[in-house]
Amino acid sequence: MPAVTLFRELLEACEGRVARADLGWAAEAKSAGDPAVEKELAGIATPDEWRRWKASQDATENVQVEKLYVEYVLK
């Protein structure tokens, strides 16, 4: 994500349901596979916000985020 402020605003507006091409669902920087890539995003949200956003991601029924693709099913 090139703009930390934009990423934060997207997380808030979408209740954490932001899919990244390099990561899948947005996640806390400390849990990233490559911490060097995520260092700019460290501290972007509180642990409570990440827990709430993770619950929102898990509750999403029509989106499946996989390593190679994101599938969105229209119902």
Tens digit of pLDDT for each residue in 21-47?
777 888 887 776 667 777 888 889 999
Q: Is the dihedral of CA 59, 16, 39, 45 positive or negative?
A: negative
Cα distance between residue 72 and residue 61, in whole Å: 9
Domain span at residue 46?
4-72
pLDDT category at 49 given cuts 50, 70, 90 is very high
Note the pLDDT of residue 32: 67
Please report which confidence band the pLDDT of residue 9 belongs to, taking 50, 70 and 90 as the band edges: very high
Which carries the bigger pLDDT value, residue 1 or residue 26?
Answer: 26
At 42 the pLDDT is 84
Residue 34 CA to residue 20 CA, distance in Å, equals: 14
Write the CB contacts of 20 (distance below 8 Å, at least 6 apart in sequence): 1, 26
Domain count, the chain: 1
